[in-house]
Amino acid sequence: MIRTRLVAQRLAFLFLLGCFFFNYPLLSIFNQGGSLFGMPPLYAWLMGSWLFLIALLALVIERKHG
Amino acid sequence: MLQGWVVVLASFLYLGVLFGIAWYADRRADQGRSLIANPVVYALSLGVYCTTWTFYGSVGRAAANGIGFLPIYLGPTLLFALAGFILYRMIRVAKANRITSIADFVASRYGKSQLLGGLVTVIAVVGVIPYIALQLKAVSNSFTILSNYPEIVMPAAAGAVPLFQDSALYVAMILAAFTILFGTRHLDATERHEGMVAAIAVESIVKLVAFLAVGAFVVWGLHGGVADIFARAAEVPEVARRLTRADTSASYGSWGTLVFLSLFAALLLPRQFQIAVVENVDVKHLNRAVWMFPLYLFLINLFVLPVALAGLLHFPAGTVDADTFVLTLPMAHQQEGLALFVFIGGLSAATGMVIVETIALSTMVCNDLVMPLLLRLRWLGLAEKADLSGLLLEIRRWAIAIILGLGYLYFRVAGEAYALVSIGLISFAAVAQFAPVVIGGLFWKGGTRDGALAGLAAGFVLWAYTLLLPSFAKSGWLPEGFIAHGLFGIELLRPQHLFGLSGLDEITHCLVWSLLANLGAYIGVSLLRVPNAREARQASLFVGGTDLAGHTAWGGSAGVADLLPLAARFLGRERAEEAFLRHARSRGLKSVDELPGDARLANFAENLLAGAIGSASARAMVASVVSEEPLGLDEVMNILDEASQVRAYSRELEQKSQELTRATADLRQANERLRELDRMKDDFISTVTHELRTPLTSIRAFSEMLHEDPKTDLEQRTKFLGIIVSETVRLSRLINQILDMAKLESGRAEWTVSAIDVDEVIREAADSLTALYAEKRVALDLDGLHPGLTVMADRDRLMQVMVNLLSNALKFVPTDTGRVKVGAEGTASEVRVSVTDNGPGIHAADHEVIFDKFRQGSGGTDVLTDKPQGTGLGLPISRQIIEYFNGRLWVESAPGAGACFLFTLPRQASDNDAKQTQGGSQ
């Protein structure tokens, strides 16, 4: 539940993580020629980290409280 | 087979199906079996964020500068990570206050200001019009291209086509008609549109599937997979430069700007607010949307870059507009069915956006702009009219038509100068102006109506000057010199290099100036004065989530007779009566007439009206019939104070109660100890009394004998007097020891601590007892002593202990054969002294007992009956003394094997110094 403070804070942490993933300076590391999994590194990084972030969001929000 | 009429027919069929879905969902809603009360539907309906901008424009953007299309979708992902802090609160607040639009939200937050609601509406309408134009452009272009099949012809410039041959005009008209049918069939008190949401959710699926279909076709149908496309693109230098970004700080700056711009847009665009907040059925649905909506965005962007690259590889440069690759690639490969499906997908994207956006805007125009104005015009006599619900619907229909008309106008004027994405970004920058007042309003109580007005106005003016007007100038509707040389030729006022700021792209440049002015004015002007009563009340509702249900803004009272007709005028008689009846039942009353004319009823009516005409107008209308006792600042502050005091008080109470629990436990413990001590004291007194009475009795008995019989012979008399004297000595020794004991126990004993040679003290004690030992002919062996052992202690007290132990030993050893041996040895940390005798020994069970007061060991006999001499206080006192100096005193013995009393004292002196200053405590 989003209502609990802890979950909201975990999500906010993912927000910060996303800000880091999707911005300078991390992007400049991947901004180069060559190929990663058959894709340009920047494209592969953005799509990969985006999907990873979505998976984390789902994990945090859908996890049942034990 | 893709003639114009086929495309038109397919389009109408699709719109008809949508309408059917909406109709069915509305019917289900009326039956109370909502189709959209489902988190997945909620997440899908949020997909209205993806318009033709996404469907066609992203590919165009990607063809122009590679990955640059992506920030627009990363921003909303980040927004949903913050859902717990922003969206969740917005939905809660909106539900509690019956907020129906973003204008309503802002107006309500800053004291239900009609002026503020109006300003937000104007900004939203002006700001979003380019966005609507974008949809018209995309749909009419895709229609034109598709209907020219099998040739691929780029549409002519919009301005060049005569008005009535322009397909965009017809698209606008059809969309207007469709939206009016959709959104304004009846007036809902909560301004929710279940049917519309269901249709939007279906459209989200259609456009996603269409885009994935074309993506799959391009990637696997035309090429050998994603890697193949990237590999080929890398071979063509002209295309390959899209694979990386220009690595400059400005490029990353504008990237970051777009991420945060889209974050705000996904929250503040009127249609996003409508779907995410107003149409939200249950705030719990937000949970699922937190990851599902970002996942939707991810999927719809999956093939954007591959399709863009494939388009660039396929079509010679400059022949085909990259914004149309999604459509032209299937057409170029004779995929008629796929092309038509793509067109329908694009239509879905456009209609979804236009329907929700214009419905949201028309609600705002009606509630926050037109109605307040009309109600002010007294000569129209609207305030007295019986039924206004028809008028409300009429206003909204006209608003929809006019907004689409303006969208078309913008398309004709400026649509050609920009690619799809650039047009959309103008709108994004406009709605970003709401960010300070909305987000600030959720977290900061100090914002005032004046501050919000100033901030919005400043931001809006700068946005228009730096972004909107240049878009007109580029299209030739304003002189070109306006951009190049600034207003009136003043270089500093060049709209895209304001005050000489350069090096930024136009969007970032606009946001820097407009948000700076916006935020500055909002905060600065807000700080000019304290929020007034109404602002403070609303602030506490929005920020603190303070539940003021029990309190009310209405000081006065009004009866059902006034409020019901008022509500009926805006909602229609039937709906109003139904709502009032529900309210009456919720208060446990049978009929509407029983409702008391209290403030709660006025509040209910205001909330009810707020759903239909906006919070600011609703307040004004209720005020017109309720004899409102204006709520003074003091009163509101009282309410708020009360609320916060109650909160603080309850926290305090909780704390107190915890403290109390702790204190109770402590008290109970103390009490038990007290009782124990009390019992011990009783024992002590009874024992002392007993001990005192024994010598007293014998003194008295012998004295009486002497007194009564004066003829007692001398020998007898001497004997009796001897007993009396010895009993008196015993008595006074006993009393001395009791006093001593009391002193030790109460901590009032005086101690003189100094370094003492143990050997010396023991010898002195032995010397003082030499006579007694000699009398009983007991040998005292002092051979086990070593000189030079030093401890920190009170010399007299230590002496007392030694004398006690030695005389104790003497008492128990047999006459003539008795032997008492004293030893002393030192370790690194302590000195250990032992006094060993060859007396009868002590039972293990008595080893501790003998240190209790008035208990004496005596071989195997009962401890209290057969008493040797002594008071029974010597050992307890000795133990107290030794323990005072941090030592231990104990006995080691077995019956028949003699007894050995031992005590230790620490050699270090440091501890004892501290003790000395405390004056002793035990």
Give this complex's ipTM.
Answer: 0.94
Specify whether B440 is located in the same domain as B453. no
- Which of B497, B530, B563 is at the close of a domain? B530
- Which of B739, B768, B787 is at the close of a domain? B739
Tell me the pLDDT band of B644, cut-offs 50, 70 and 90: low
Distances (CA, A) of B315 to B148, B333, B341: 17, 12, 22
CB B290 to CB A7 under 8 A? no
For residue B235, give the CATH number of its domain: 1.20.1730.10
Specify whether B398 is located in the same domain as B278. yes
- Which of B739, B767, B789 is at the close of a domain? B739
B78 interaction partners in chain A (CB closer than 8 Å): 15, 18-19, 22
**Can you read off the two tokens belonging to residue B461?**
């003016």
Specify whether B411 is located in the same domain as B478. no
**Domain contains B746:** no
CA distance B370 to B357: 18
**Domain contains B537:** no
Q: Of chain B residues 43-102, which have a CB less than 8 A from chain A?
A: 67, 70-71, 74, 77-78, 80-85, 88
**Can you read off the two tokens belonging to residue B101?**
């639009």
Specify whether B881 is located in the same domain as B853. yes
CB pairs under 8 A between A and B: 115
Specify whether B128 is located in the same domain as B220. yes
**Domain contains B544:** no
**Domain contains B539:** no
CA distance B706 to B717: 7
Radius of gyration of chain B (CA): 49
Radius of gyration of chain A (CA): 15
pLDDT of B715 > 70? The answer is yes
Paired with B920 in beta bridges are: none
Instruction: Tell me the nearest-neighbour CA distance from A66 into chain B, angstroms.
Output: 18
Sign of CA dihedral B145, B149, B153, B159: negative
B385-413 pLDDT tens trace: 667 777 888 888 999 999 999 999 888 87
**Domain contains B747:** no
**Domain contains B550:** no
B787-825 pLDDT tens trace: 778 888 888 888 888 888 888 888 888 888 888 989 888
CB B81 to CB A11 under 8 A? yes
CA distance B396 to B182: 12
CB B70 to CB A46 under 8 A? yes
**Closest B-chain CA to A2:** B84
For B384, phi and psi rounded to 5 degrees?
Answer: -100, -10
CB A27 to CB B252 under 8 A? yes
B236-285 pLDDT tens trace: 887 777 777 766 666 788 888 889 999 999 999 999 999 999 888 888 88
B255 interaction partners in chain A (CB closer than 8 Å): 23-24, 27
**Domain contains B499:** yes
CA distance A53 to A17: 8
CB B231 to CB A58 under 8 A? no
Give me the residue label for tokens 């708020």. Answer: B640
Task: Compare A18 and B594 and report the one with higher pLDDT.
Answer: A18
For B70, phi and psi rounded to 5 degrees?
Answer: -75, -35
Instruction: Tell me the nearest-neighbour CA distance from A23 into chain B, angstroms.
Output: 6
CB B88 to CB A2 under 8 A? yes
Find out whether B808 and B874 touch, Cβ atoms under 8 Å: yes
B324-342 pLDDT tens trace: 889 889 988 888 889 999 9
Specify whether B722 is located in the same domain as B840. no
Find out whether B204 and B48 touch, Cβ atoms under 8 Å: yes
Of A28, A35, A46, the CB nearest to B67: A46
For residue B833, give the CATH number of its domain: 3.30.565.10
B231 interaction partners in chain A (CB closer than 8 Å): 35, 38
Specify whether B497 is located in the same domain as B612. no
Cβ neighbours around B488 below 10 Å, total? 7
Tell me the pLDDT band of B911, cut-offs 50, 70 and 90: very low
Tell me the pLDDT band of B915, cut-offs 50, 70 and 90: very low
A37 interaction partners in chain B (CB closer than 8 Å): 227
Give me the residue label for tokens 């291209």. Answer: B145
**Residue range of the domain that includes B577:** 555-631
Tell me the pLDDT band of B419, cut-offs 50, 70 and 90: low
User: Which of B154, B72, B73, B507 minimizes the C-alpha distance to B323?
Assistant: B154
Domains contained in chain B, number:
5
CA distance B652 to B644: 12
Specify whether B34 is located in the same domain as B144. yes
- Bridge-based pairing state of the strands B899-906 and B830-837: antiparallel
pLDDT of B920 > 60? The answer is no
**Closest B-chain CA to A12:** B82
Enumerate chain A positions whose Cβ falls within 8 A of a Cβ in B: 1-3, 7-9, 11-12, 14-15, 18-19, 22-24, 27-28, 31-33, 35, 37-40, 42-43, 46-47, 50-51, 53-55, 57-58, 61-62
**Domain contains B903:** yes
Specify whether B655 is located in the same domain as B722. yes
For residue B713, give the CATH number of its domain: 1.10.287.130
**Closest A-chain CA to B69:** A43
Instruction: Tell me the nearest-neighbour CA distance from B112 into chain A, angstroms.
Output: 28
**Closest A-chain CA to B257:** A23
Specify whether B33 is located in the same domain as B131. yes
Task: Choose, out of A39, A52, A60, the residue to mutate when testing the contact with B (most B CBs < 10 Å).
Answer: A39
Specify whether B82 is located in the same domain as B109. yes
Three-state secondary structure call for residue B85: coil
CA distance B488 to B481: 9
Specify whether B214 is located in the same domain as B281. yes
